[in-house]
Amino acid sequence: DSGVTQTPKHLITATGQRVTLRCSPRSGDLSVYWYQQSLDQGLQFLIQYYNGEERAKGNILERFSAQQFPDLHSELNLSSLELGDSALYFCASSRDWASDTQYFGPGTRLTVL
């Protein structure tokens, strides 16, 4: 158990809908990362937050957004969902923005029908 929690574990929804994925980092970690794991793209970095502020953006679609709250949990919002958004979404956390070791949560499996 890495100490990173993600909810829900599974999510099934329809095209065009909007969903919110939630992540709680390890105790004491200030930085949160979101990654997408899909069969065709592999594991890709989406976005990073540090202590409530966006730190870096990767291959994140404009339909996707995220935020980190004062209690350091983070939410990833996915809107106007398409079939191709079906994937595993992982959250990871690290002690601070400069830490090179990230600890991953169990993931949320999103299925868009």
Footprint of other proteins on this chain (CB under 8 A)? 2, 4, 6, 33, 35, 42-45, 48, 50, 55-56, 58, 90, 92, 94, 97-107
Nearer to other proteins, 64 or 103 (CB): 103
Nearer to other proteins, 15 or 41 (CB): 41
Residue 42 CB contacts under 8 Å (≥ 6 apart), including other chains: none
Output the smallest distance, CB 11 to other proteins, in A: 16
Least Å from the CB of residue 15 to other proteins: 26
Tokens representing 64 are: 């996707």
Query: In a 3-state reduction of DSSP, which class is residue 47?
Result: strand
CB 74 to other proteins: min, Å: 14
Nearer to other proteins, 14 or 43 (CB): 43
Q: What share of the chain is helix, strand, coil (3-state, %, to 5)?
A: 5, 55, 45
Phi, psi at 97, each rounded to 5°: -70, -20
